[in-house]
Amino acid sequence: MPELTNLTTDEAIVRQVQLGDSEAFGILVKRYEIKILHYARKFLFNYTDIEDLAQDVFIKAYNNIQSFDASRKFSAWIYRIAHNEFINAIKKKGREPVSYFDVDVLWPRLVSREKADHRANEQELRKMLDYCLNELDLKYREPLILYYLEELDYQEIADILHIPVSTVGVRLRRGREKMKWFCQKSGYHYEQ
Amino acid sequence: MNNNLEEQKLKQPSSISEKVLGKISSGQIKMRPRAIFILKIIAVILAVFFAAIFVVFLISFIVFSLRSSGLWFLPGLGFRGLGILFNSLPWLLIFITVVSVIVLELLIRRFSFSYRRPLVYSIFGVFILVLLGGLAVAKTHWHADIFWQAQEGRLPIAGEFYRQFGAPKLNFVHSGLVATTTDGSFDLETGRGETLRIFIASSTRFSLDKNQEIIKKDDQVIILGKRDNDSVQAFDIRRVDKRFEPFDRQPSPRPMRLRGR
């Protein structure tokens, strides 16, 4: 089997794992455990079993690694597993309502992609996410985390959440507006 | 610099990676074989295929049923025709079709080409495809042939379905072939194998038919009028194209029930 280096792509490592090199899976876990833990902490605030849930994500990933299509991005695939695990945890604990259907999936109003000024304000936005994120509904919270904190693009977020690409734009825009409102309400000033 | 950071990170002991690798090496967690996932994908594709076939069958059957019952031609008979059409539509079949399209959409929604697009576009695309498929099948003689097999008792499984829905018994719409004509009335043989006596009054309209004075044997007609036992007082009569299922039957060595009685 070829030697794995830091520069080896995720997808190449997965191919090794699929061929039976279980040790190679450890590299993927190390590459993604901080990201998944970060995602879990932001998405599942007030949960004490974050580490266990993150561990379950990697166990599920290993169980199902043979279903991964190496022509696609591993990052979107592992985040999809994490999303499912976290949603199941929320349903199980019943702390927040999980909606199964939203009108913005049916026919999202087309919105423009992120503009340059939004990108320029990202630093400020990230601070605000720390401050006001918990106030947001799940459906707005998750795209904001994935876009601003995990730095994934629209297509990847659409693949993780299984929603239309245009819905990602709609939720990001509404999420920012709602966050601004919550931040202002709680005394934090937000310049969009 | 970044490579060094990543290298350091990879060398750091990780509780999650150690736990996961520990479970892998102890055999507590195992990779599921690739064959399971391939079988799952095949099962989903087959489910999509059969759901699509089922919807196409239902749509084509509804079109066949509308044509055989005469309802298909009612929009040409004005508002009264439209009212009767609305009240006589096979709503149960339409409901099953809508549910089946939703099931088909849910199955297709598992694939990225579907979920990446708005649900409306996806449903619209699915609906247009199955509608075109249904109309294409409805253009063939397939349902008419099966209907006749059912009428002749040679269709054990779906026979009752075809007899009940293929040429539904309606109170205000009657379609069939003219069997005999007399002054002021004629006998109509329906797709259900019944004979109805149709009475023509001075107020009876002959919609869209320039040869209204001539009602001949073997004409295919649609009658609007309330049925009273086996007789109908017609208020509207329309002659239809000869190519009209189920009466436009292909030549067959088997005896026919309607023609040549």
User: Tokens in use for A28?
Assistant: 């993927």
pLDDT at position B220, please?
Answer: 84
As a whole-number percent, the residues of chain A with pLDDT over 70 amount to 86
Residues of A in contact with B25 (CB under 8 A): 22
**Consecutive sets of 10 residues in chain B, 261 residues long: mean pLDDT of each?**
52 73 90 94 96 96 88 79 87 96 94 91 94 94 86 82 82 87 88 87 74 73 87 86 58 42 34
Mean pLDDT is lowest, of A142-146, A158-162, B253-257, for B253-257
Is the peptide bond prior to B246 cis by the omega test (within 30 degrees of 0)?
A: yes
Q: In sequence order, which residues have a C-beta less than 8 Å from that of residue A190 and are 6 or more positions away?
A: A124, A128, A179, A180, A183, A184
Q: Which helix (H) or strand (E) holds B83?
A: helix B78-88
Alpha helices in A94-192 (DSSP H): 103-106, 116-120, 122-132, 138-144, 154-161, 165-185
Residues of A in contact with B1 (CB under 8 A): none
Of B16, B25, B118, the CB nearest to A29: B16
| B177: three-class secondary structure by DSSP | strand
> pLDDT, tens digit, for every residue of A107-122?
776 554 555 455 557 7
C-alpha distances in Å from residue B161, one per residue of B66, B155, B173: 15, 10, 20
**Helices A74-93 and A50-63 sit at what angle, rounded to 10 degrees?**
130
pLDDT tier, A68 (very low <50, low <70, confident <90, very high otherwise): very high
The C-alpha of A189 sits at a distance from chain B's nearest C-alpha, in angstroms, of 34
In 3D, which of A49, A63, A54, A53 has the Cα closest to residue A35? A54
Q: Is the pLDDT of residue A179 over 50?
A: yes
Of B17, B32, B119, the CB nearest to A105: B119
Q: A36 or A96: which carries more pLDDT confidence?
A: A36
Give the ipTM.
0.78
CA B107 to CA B252: how far, in whole Å? 41
The end-to-end CA distance of chain A, in Å, is 51
pLDDT at position B252, please?
Answer: 45
In chain B, whose CA is at the least distance from the CA of A102? B119
| A60: three-class secondary structure by DSSP | helix
How many Cβ atoms are within 10 Å of B114's Cβ, its own excluded?
20
Residues of B in contact with A105 (CB under 8 A): 118-119
**Helices A10-18 and A74-93 sit at what angle, rounded to 10 degrees?**
80
Contact A163 B17 (CB under 8 A): no
| Pairing state between β B231-239 and B195-206 | parallel
In chain B, whose CA is at the least distance from the CA of A8? B3
pLDDT at position B49, please?
Answer: 97
pLDDT at position B128, please?
Answer: 96
Q: In sequence order, which residues have a C-beta less than 8 Å from that of residue A70 and are 6 or more positions away?
A: A11, A12, A14, A15, A18
**Residue A99 falls in which region: left (phi positive, over 0), alpha (psi -120 to 50) or beta:** beta
The C-alpha of A107 sits at a distance from chain B's nearest C-alpha, in angstroms, of 5
pLDDT at position A14, please?
Answer: 94
pLDDT at position B246, please?
Answer: 59
The C-alpha of A181 sits at a distance from chain B's nearest C-alpha, in angstroms, of 28
pLDDT at position B150, please?
Answer: 86
Q: Is the pLDDT of residue A21 over 50?
A: yes
pLDDT tier, A58 (very low <50, low <70, confident <90, very high otherwise): very high
pLDDT at position B251, please?
Answer: 44
Task: List the single best residue of B3, B23, B119 to mutate versus A (max A Cβ within 10 A).
Answer: B119
Of A17, A33, A59, the CB nearest to B23: A59
Kindly report the pTM of this predicted structure: 0.78
User: Tokens in use for B216?
Assistant: 């001949």
Task: List the single best residue of A13, A27, A29, A81 to mutate versus B (max B Cβ within 10 A).
Answer: A29
pLDDT at position B131, please?
Answer: 96
Q: Is A12 on the interface with B (CB under 8 A)?
A: no
Contact B16 A55 (CB under 8 A): yes
